[in-house]
Amino acid sequence: MNEGKRTEYEKLLYPFLHEDGAVNTEQVLAEIQKSTLNKCQDIITLRKKTLE
């Protein structure tokens, strides 16, 4: 993968690393927490469906 493509993917995956200005750490942590809890719920749902 060339450097341009890698940077493009990094911006999509980690937008807070490429923002101009100060990063709001509390907002980033809140987004991470929300994402983690959503993923946990997805896993719980999948496991329940698997065990049915």
pLDDT tens digits for range 4-32: 777 888 888 887 777 777 778 898 899 99
Domain membership of residue 48 (yes or no) is yes
User: How far is 48 from 43, CA to CA, in rounded Å?
Assistant: 9
Number of compact structural domains in the chain: 1
Domain holding 42, by residue range, is 22-52
Whose structure tokens read 């490429």?
Answer: 18
Q: Are 16 and 28 in contact (CB under 8 A)?
A: yes
Q: Is the model's pTM score more than 0.85? A: no
User: How far is 16 from 43, CA to CA, in rounded Å?
Assistant: 26
